[in-house]
Amino acid sequence: STRFLPRVAHPMDIKGYWQKTLIQAQNALTVFPLKAKVAPFNGINTLFPFIENPTPLQQKVLDLDISQQGPQLFILEDVTGAGKTEAALILAHRLIAAGKAQGLFFGLPTMATANAMYDRLVKTWLAFYSPESRPSLVLGHSARTLMDRFNESLWSGDSVGSE
């Protein structure tokens, strides 16, 4: 970002450039929020208070043994309306809280479906983390700035590191 690492308009020797850039990078790091602290997984009701009885798929991901070492792949399939998204989020939070994952990715076919998923994720994603944390939730398509909810979520620091 040119906010913290402005372009250099004149030639500089590499050592001088490196020293200047290190200071600028350190200043940038003092401004950004700290890494979000993951909340422990305390059951389905923390994420989804409206779910009184989990669907069979949701129960399966609650009961699933995630203690294996190394990479794991989970494919969740069920009929429309069976709670697949909630099941995926339950499993994701369990994995993240156990230190077996660092994030979550939903790949969706259109901007409209991505926007709808973003709306669904906003509150649930925050429940993955401690209340004082500011976790990132990215909407990764070219028209994201047209979505008010996304724009409201953008971090804007009120202080800038010193030179």
- Taking only the tens place, the pLDDT of each residue in 45-71 is 999 999 999 999 999 999 999 999 999
> Do residues 48 and 13 both lie within one domain?
no
Q: What angle do CA 30, 36, 59 make, to 5 degrees?
A: 170
pLDDT of residue 68: 92
63 found inside a domain: yes
> Do residues 26 and 83 both lie within one domain?
no
> Do residues 53 and 24 both lie within one domain?
no
CA torsion 9-11-14-17 (nearest 10°) is -30
> Do residues 64 and 28 both lie within one domain?
no
> Do residues 76 and 130 both lie within one domain?
yes
> Do residues 65 and 132 both lie within one domain?
yes
> Do residues 67 and 28 both lie within one domain?
no
pLDDT in tens, the chain (163 residues): 688 888 888 899 999 999 999 999 988 888 776 788 999 999 999 999 999 999 999 999 999 999 999 999 999 999 999 999 999 999 999 999 999 998 889 889 999 999 998 888 888 988 999 988 878 888 888 888 877 777 777 665 554 443 3
37 found inside a domain: no
Domain count for the chain, please give it. 2
Instruction: Give the domain extent around 24.
Output: 1-32
> Do residues 24 and 85 both lie within one domain?
no
> Do residues 64 and 12 both lie within one domain?
no
> Do residues 6 and 68 both lie within one domain?
no
> Do residues 26 and 103 both lie within one domain?
no
161 found inside a domain: no
Going from the C-alpha of 50 to that of each of 31, 45, 47, 53, 102, the distances in angstroms are 37, 7, 9, 9, 26
> Do residues 20 and 76 both lie within one domain?
no
